[in-house]
Chains A and B, each alone.
Chain A
C-alpha cells in the first residue's frame, strides 16, 4: 500500500465520522483536531482505519502522529512490520 492510498483511506474514514467536511480538500498536514474531531471522533477514525487494514495497534501509540500525513506514515510502518 502506498502512502497516497493510506491518505485516501484516512480521508474516507474521516469524512464518515465528520460528515460536515464535504467541501474540504485534504492535505497531509491536516490535523484531525483542526478539522473538528474530538477525542472520541479521533479514536473512531483510527479504529475504522485499523479495521480496513486488518491491523490492530495500541491506543497509546496512536497519540504520536501529529497530522494525517504522520498518521499515514505510522500505519505504513506498522504494515511493513506485520
Chain B
C-alpha cells in the first residue's frame, strides 16, 4: 500500500492578495484586479489587459542584496516558499530530505526582453548575471540557497499544466523515497509584450473587446468569452506522506488521492475531449472514487471559446455534472505556469473555509445545466475535489483531493 500523500503547507501571491489569509478572503468576496497592464516591458503600442501584482511584502531578514539580484519570478517564489516553509515547519526537516520542483519553462521572458532592449548595440556591457538568470533553473539555485534545500531541485515544463505537473512530480519524488518532503512551486510566468502579442495572434489571449472596461474582459464559461486574460500569480504546495507530517505534529490541508496525465499527441493549442476525459478518468481511478463522490471541480476554465466548451463536455462525459463548479481564473486571470498550483491552493482554501468562491462575469453560462457558483460565494463543505489543467502541446492533468 503506497503511503497517503498530504499537503502540509501552502503559500500564494496573486493580484488579489499576498498570503493565504488575504488571498482567501479576496477570493471568497469575488474580488478581481484586472486593468491595462503597466509593468515595464508588457506593452508596445498595445493595451493588453491583465491582473498584475501591485506590491510584494518580503519576509524580514531577507538581505536587500538578495532582492536586488532577484527577478520578479524569483521574488514571488521567495515569498510563497517562505509562507509554505514556515507553515509546514520545514526547518525541522533534514535539508537533504527536502526537494523542490519548479513548474514552468521560459518563465522570465519580460526580464530578458528588458535586458535585450536595454543592451542592444552595447552588448559588451551586458550584466554578467544574465548568464545565470536566463535559465529557469536559476529559480532552483535561488530558492535552494535561500532555504538551504539539499535534496533535489529541478524544473518541469508542461505549458499551462506546469503547476499541476510540478505537484505530480513532487508527489512522485516522495513516493519514490527520493525525499521525505517535496515543495511544488508554480512559478510566476512573467510575460513580455512579445508573448502577449504571440498569444493574441494565436487567438488564445482575449481580444480588445473590453478595452474600455477591463473588469469585464475575463469571463470563463460565459457566452461572451473570447480568450484568456493573463494574471500574475505564484504558489507553493508542500507534499509529504501523512506519516511524515505526523512526526512534526502537523495537521494537513487535504490528501492527494490520485492524479492523471494524458497527452493528446498534438503540438497545437487545440484541446481534446478524449485527452481531457482520459486524464480525469485516470485521476478518479487512482483515487478509487466514483464521479458522483466528487462534489467540487476547479476547472482549467480560461475563457477560451473552444477550451471552455471542450472542458464542460469532458466533465459531462465523466459523469461530473452534479459537482459545484466555479472559475478561479475569473478572479486572478490565467497564471499560465503558476495556474495549476495556485488553483489547487484556491481549492484547498475553499475546502478549509467550507465556502466556494463566486465566478465573475458568468452572466450567460455556455452550458447552464452545470452546478455553477455564480455571482456570490456559497457555503459548501467540499469532501472530494477535482482540479484540472490543460496546456499547449496537448497536455492534460487532473488531481483528486480529499478532505482530512
Contacts and interface: CB of A to CB of B under 8 A. Distances in A.
A11 to B, nearest CB: 16
A81 interface: no
A44 B128 contact: yes
What are the nearest 5 A-B pairs in CB distance?
A43-B128, A51-B125, A19-B64, A56-B124, A18-B65
A44 B65 contact: no
Contacts of A43: 128-129
A47 interface: yes
Interface of B: 63-65, 68-69, 122, 124-129, 132
Give the dominant DSSP class at A's interface.
helix
B65 to A, nearest CB: 6
Contacts of B124: 50, 56
Contacts of B129: 40, 43-44
Nearest to A36: B65
Interface residues of A, number: 14
B125 A19 contact: no
B125 A47 contact: yes
Contacts of A50: 124-125
Contact of A40 (B63, B125, B132): B132
A17 to B, nearest CB: 7
A47 B128 contact: yes
Given A20-B63, A47-B126, A48-B127, 6 more contacts: A18-B65, A20-B65, A44-B128, A47-B128, A50-B124, A51-B122
A69 to B, nearest CB: 23
B69 to A, nearest CB: 8
Interface in A10-32: 17-20
B91 to A, nearest CB: 24
Contacts of A40: 69, 128-129, 132
B68 A17 contact: yes
B132 A56 contact: no
A47 B119 CA distance: 13
